[in-house]
Every structure is written in structure tokens, then in C-alpha cells.
Homo-oligomer: A and B are copies of this chain.
Amino acid sequence: MIGVVKRNNVSLKIGIIGGGNVATHFFKSLGEIVVKQIFVRKKEENLHLPLSLLSESKDLRILDLAIIIIAVSDDQIINVMAKYHFDPDQTILHTSGSVEMDVIHQKHLKCGVLYPLMTLSKEDIIDYQQMPLLIEGSEESDLLLINQLAESISHHVTYFDSQDRKIIHLTAVIANNFTTSLLLDVEEILKKNQLDKFLLVPLMKETIRKVFDLGGIKSITGPAIRKDQKIIDVHLDLLSNYPEILDLYQFFTHRIQKI
């Protein structure tokens, strides 16, 4: 792999297809010196992006763009490959955790993947240098080019093939989406009791630190693992008005007691 390339040394010219969350963050992380055009279906729906860069064209062959980043929803990637026209010399990437590189490769030889292992909503302020980027390329020359692009954004660039990328995406969904679902329950209970959810921030930061530093087995505490049935009964009683959270509490209590 080549070394870290500073952004101001990147002479690459990039096009982005899409105006959603991931497209917006790739535009923000690369900047206007690198991103020459952003291809969207309707300009007027993408005014969070610079109007001067927006284009509704589907013909990218006449443009001097070395890399095209397809940052659309997973099931739209195949449609983009069917409807847009590319130059054979352009390297075409998608940004999905679960879609195989082959979806592009079937239509276009020079291709790859640039997957940001992060939850990205438009308004988030992300420290891009700390955001892991998982890359794949169809040929060594494509991979080197994608690596150069990725290292101009982040200090954490790693090669992942399509199969491993699917697995880490699965774990990201469990870790992020399911934890968020748990914290929705926490919010609901605290709100109904007019208690301040921010009291839990130090605990949650420590939870994450501990699991990664010590490992999950050493980190697990609380009434379930201690088999403290008195406390569990107190909690089940408190949850009598929340039947769904009560199910979830029992589900996890049983799971933890089987460890």
C-alpha cells in the first residue's frame, strides 16, 4: 500500500452520484477541489449541496473524472449501473456495506468499493480522519487509486473483500441499530418519569470503553449475571405498564444467564 496522501496533494478529480447522507459526507470530506460534479435526479431536491456542482446528466463519458463514487441506497446501485454512461477508464465505486463489488464489475471492469463504517446523517459533524474506510478494488491499479483517495480522507483505511465487508456491516447493524433501539426504550421510561436521560451519558461511554478494552465477558455486570432475582422482580414490576420492554427485559435476562 502507498503512504498517506495529504488532501492538497490529491490531483484526482471525482464525481459523486447521489445527494443523500453518504454522498453529502463524501462531498464534505473531499471538498470542492476534488469533487468536480455531483449527479442527482433533481437539482431542486439537493440544495444542501452547492448548486454549481449539481448535474442531472446521466452521461459521464465526456467529463475528466478519474473516479465516480456511487453513493445511493443499496438497491439503487444496479439501476445506476443500468442508466448512467461511464468511460471505460473511469474507476467506479459504491459505498455499501452489504452489496458485492460484482454488481458493478458485471457492467464495468475498473471498479471498487469505499465503505465508511459509520452512521451518517446529513447534519452530523464527523471526524473523518477517525472514520474507518473499508476498500476493495477489481485490479491492483484500481485498489491503489482507491487507497490514495481513501487515505486523503481517513487515517483508518483497510482492505476488506465483499464477504468480510458483509460480516462487519452485519455487526455494525447489531451494535448501532439494536443499541439505539434499546436506548429508545430507556428514553421512553425516563421521559414518562420526568427523569434526565443525560445522567446516563458517563455510564454509556464507560460501557463502550469497557467492552472494547476488557471484552464483553469481563464487562457484563448487573442483576441478570448475578442471578439477583429480587432486583429482577423489582424491574419486572416497574415494567408492568410497558409490555414490550418487559418482553425485551426477560429476553435479555435469559440470554445473559446462559453465558
Interface of A toward B, CB cutoff 8 Å? 73-75, 98, 117-119, 121, 124, 126-127, 130-132, 134, 156, 158, 164, 166-168, 170-187, 189-190, 193, 195-208, 210-212, 214-226, 228, 230-231, 234-235, 238-239, 244-245, 248-249, 251-252, 255-256, 259
Contacts and interface: CB of A to CB of B under 8 A. Distances in A.
B182 A221 contact: no
A202 B132 contact: yes
A38 to B, nearest CB: 22
Contacts of A197: 212
Question: How many chain copies?
Answer: 2
Given A210-B124, A224-B177, A119 B203 contact: yes
Nearest to A221: B119
A156 B174 CA distance: 32
Given A117-B202, A180-B216, A230-B74, A235 B173 contact: yes
Given A170-B235, A198-B212, A175 B74 contact: no
B117 A199 contact: yes
A141 to B, nearest CB: 26
Contacts of A98: 223, 231, 234-235
A187 to B, nearest CB: 5
A170 B222 contact: no
A208 B206 contact: no
B200 A204 contact: no
A182 B178 contact: yes
Q: Choose among A124, A200, A214, A235 the residue with the greatest number of B CB atoms under 10 Å from its CB.
A: A200
A217 B182 CA distance: 11
Contacts of A212: 197-198, 200-201, 204
Contacts of A252: 174, 177-178, 181
A249 B210 CA distance: 23
B117 A200 contact: yes
Contacts of A239: 170
